[in-house]
């Protein structure tokens, strides 16, 4: 393994932030006055670093084979410099696509989807509450004004979605993957809709059900522990939202997912699909082992599609895209806000996780430190993206709507969104 050292020294010299390494046996590479220090207990970890396998290096940290000193922001700047190329690039051979599809079909049965959602979202409500905003909105915020706090930007996002959907009092509104209820409750309290939310997370279901009772909204707001595939189609909804959920659907199920939404939406109604999209047209996860790290420790079964593929599947389901907005840098800022909040409370986070996860606490905390900061870096650099796609189900009547040919509630201008 000693022949790795000259290569690693060249890599360190080229990094945008000063990094030092403590090798097995005690030798140190780099100066003592550095922003980041990596301490290795095994030579195999150093080999992974030299090869640019950032995801595998992250796994070594989670599993305790590597220790990290320094801020997550400096660490991610160094990680970006260590990658051998653009992590958006991936194997695009026909057999790779076939294998991805087979894996996607197997990973997204109803039973496996429920288990995968609970693996992530049921870690601990108290843990998430440490670094999310007070409404516990776990999706990209909307920094409409430069000086907004995270809490203000999350409320701006909730209202942005409601405005885009033209929510009106008394309308039937469905929120697929309602999380801890931020959008569901905002729509009910500020726009007067009759709101239904669904989730596969038992913790989220209990949390939102309690809030509904506390706020006296039981008559027109409900939260169901239900798979989207089980929803009743006999009474279509006026408006539908899906925020931060379709990343869990799987490429192989995307056509069926949008087909289901089309059947749940009344003719002329509006749907908002807000979610993470791939940075390249042919990759479904990041290279450099980063996608594998997220699959193992954070989001098992998660798959990303490029926005072009999303739009194609929507169109095939008879849903017409009328407005698409890219919020990629907003998600970078959101994730850094979450990361900074977690970093400021590491001791408290560890105590919370000890109560709920026991001996897994340290691994979970280490994984989330890398996940939040790594995703922030990835959004900043354009390796992954975030799109809000507003769409309609045309009613087939050229004389409906405010503009002839609209065939929906959408006015075919953006003025109403910002009025």
Same domain, 370 and 271: yes
Strand bridging mode 36-40 / 66-69: antiparallel
Phi-psi region at 39: left, alpha or beta (left = phi > 0; alpha = psi -120 to 50): beta
- pLDDT of the chain along its 419 residues, tens only? 557 788 888 888 888 999 999 999 888 998 778 899 999 999 999 898 888 888 889 999 999 999 999 999 999 999 888 877 677 765 444 334 433 444 444 444 565 554 544 445 557 889 999 999 999 999 999 999 999 999 999 999 999 999 999 999 999 999 999 999 999 999 999 999 999 999 989 999 999 999 999 999 999 999 999 999 999 999 999 999 999 998 888 888 899 999 999 999 999 999 999 999 988 887 656 666 777 877 787 767 678 889 999 999 999 999 999 999 999 999 999 999 999 999 999 999 999 999 988 898 999 999 999 999 999 999 999 999 999 999 999 999 999 999 999 999 999 999 999 88
CATH number of the domain at 289, please: 3.40.50.150
Yes or no: say if 252 and 284 are a contact pair by the CB < 8 Å rule.
no
For residue 93, being part of any structural domain is answered with: no
Same domain, 110 and 71: no
For residue 370, being part of any structural domain is answered with: yes
Q: Specify the pLDDT at position 111.
A: 57
Yes or no: say if 400 and 407 are a contact pair by the CB < 8 Å rule.
yes
Q: Specify the pLDDT at position 92.
A: 42
Domain span at 411: 98-418
Q: What's the CA dihedral at 117, 118, 124, 125 to 10 degrees? A: 60
Q: Specify the pLDDT at position 301.
A: 67
Same domain, 47 and 125: no
Same domain, 68 and 119: no
| Alpha-carbon span 416 to 410, nearest angstrom | 10
Q: Which helix (H) or strand (E) holds 384?
A: strand 384-392
Strand-pair partners of 265: 237
Same domain, 211 and 296: yes
Yes or no: say if 236 and 269 are a contact pair by the CB < 8 Å rule.
yes
Q: Which residues contact 160 (CB under 8 A, 6 or more apart)?
A: 142, 144, 388, 417
Using alpha carbons only, what angle is made at residue 390 by residues 388 and 393, rounded to the nearest 5 degrees? 150
Strand bridging mode 237-243 / 36-40: unpaired
Strand bridging mode 384-392 / 320-326: antiparallel
Enter the tokens of residue 371: 């996940």
Q: Specify the pLDDT at position 36.
A: 94
Same domain, 50 and 151: no
Same domain, 46 and 139: no
Which residue carries 């959008």 as its tokens? 183
Strand-pair partners of 194: 172
Same domain, 188 and 326: yes
CATH number of the domain at 30, please: 3.30.1050.10
Closest to 113 measured CA to CA, from 337, 301, 343: 301
Closest to 151 measured CA to CA, from 130, 134, 126, 127: 134
Active site residues: 375
For residue 327, being part of any structural domain is answered with: yes
For residue 31, being part of any structural domain is answered with: yes
| Alpha-carbon span 375 to 309, nearest angstrom | 22
Closest to 203 measured CA to CA, from 122, 92, 113: 122
Q: Specify the pLDDT at position 296.
A: 80
| Alpha-carbon span 162 to 190, nearest angstrom | 9
Last residue of a domain, one of 53, 82, 111: 82
Name the phi and psi angles at 179, rounded to 5.
Answer: 60, -135
Q: Is 86 helix (H, G, I), strand (E, B) or coil?
A: coil
Same domain, 154 and 78: no
Q: What is the DSSP letter of 324?
A: E
Enter the tokens of residue 96: 């790779």
State the DSSP string of 192-229: --EEEEEES-HHHHHHHHHHHHHTT-TTTEEEEE--GG
Yes or no: say if 285 and 87 are a contact pair by the CB < 8 Å rule.
no
Same domain, 70 and 125: no
For residue 73, being part of any structural domain is answered with: yes
Which residue carries 């990680």 as its tokens? 79
Same domain, 107 and 59: no
Same domain, 262 and 351: yes
| Alpha-carbon span 307 to 311, nearest angstrom | 6
pTM of the model: 0.90
Q: Specify the pLDDT at position 147.
A: 95
Q: Specify the pLDDT at position 88.
A: 76
For residue 92, being part of any structural domain is answered with: no
Q: Specify the pLDDT at position 14.
A: 86
Query: How many independent structural domains does the chain possess?
Result: 2
Last residue of a domain, one of 82, 108, 143: 82
Last residue of a domain, one of 47, 82, 117: 82
């Amino acid at each position: 393994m000693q022949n790795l050292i000259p290569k690693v020294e060249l890599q360190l010299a080229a990094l945008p932030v000063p990094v030092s390494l403590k090798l097995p046996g005690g030798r140190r590479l780099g100066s003592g006055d550095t922003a980041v220090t990596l301490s290795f207990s095994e030579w195999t970890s150093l080999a992974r670093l030299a090869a640019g396998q950032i995801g595998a290096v992250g796994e070594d940290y989670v599993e305790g084979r590597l220790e990290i000193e320094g801020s997550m922001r400096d660490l991610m700047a160094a990680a970006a410099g260590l990658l051998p190329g653009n992590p958006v690039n991936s194997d695009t051979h026909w057999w790779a696509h076939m294998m991805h599809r087979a894996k996607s079909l197997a990973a997204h049965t109803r039973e496996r989807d429920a288990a995968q959602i609970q693996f992530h979202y049921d870690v601990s409500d108290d843990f998430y509450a440490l670094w999310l905003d007070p409404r516990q909105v776990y999706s990209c915020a909307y920094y409409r004004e430069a000086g907004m706090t995270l809490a203000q930007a999350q409320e701006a996002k909730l209202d942005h979605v409601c405005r885009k959907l033209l929510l009106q009092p008394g309308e039937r509104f469905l929120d697929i993957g309602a999380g801890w209820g931020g959008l569901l409750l905002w729509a009910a309290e500020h726009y007067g809709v009759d709101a239904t939310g669904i989730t596969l997370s038992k913790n989220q279901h209990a949390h939102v059900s309690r809030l509904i009772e506390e706020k006296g909204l039981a008559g027109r707001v409900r939260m169901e522990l239900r798979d989207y595939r089980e929803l009743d189609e006999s009474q279509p909804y006026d408006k539908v939202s899906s925020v931060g959920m379709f990343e869990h659907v799987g490429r192989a199920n995307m056509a069926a997912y949008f087909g289901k939404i089309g059947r749940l939406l009344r003719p002329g109604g509006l749907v908002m699909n807000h979610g993470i999209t791939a940075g390249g047209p042919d990759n479904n996860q990041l290279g450099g082992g980063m996608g594998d790290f997220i699959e193992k420790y954070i989001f098992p079964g998660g798959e990303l599609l490029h926005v072009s593929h999303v739009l194609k599947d929507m169109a095939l389901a008879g849903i017409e895209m009328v407005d698409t907005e890219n919020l990629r840098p907003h998600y970078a800022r959101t994730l850094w806000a979450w990361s900074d909040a977690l970093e400021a409370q590491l001791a408290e986070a560890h105590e919370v996780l000890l109560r709920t996860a026991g001996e897994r606490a340290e691994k979970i905390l280490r994984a989330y430190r890398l996940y939040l900061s790594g995703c922030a870096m990835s959004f900043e650099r354009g390796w992954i993206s975030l799109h809000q796609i507003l769409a309609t189900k045309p009613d087939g009547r050229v004389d409906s709507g405010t503009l002839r040919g609209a065939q929906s509630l959408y006015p075919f201008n953006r003025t109403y969104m910002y009025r």
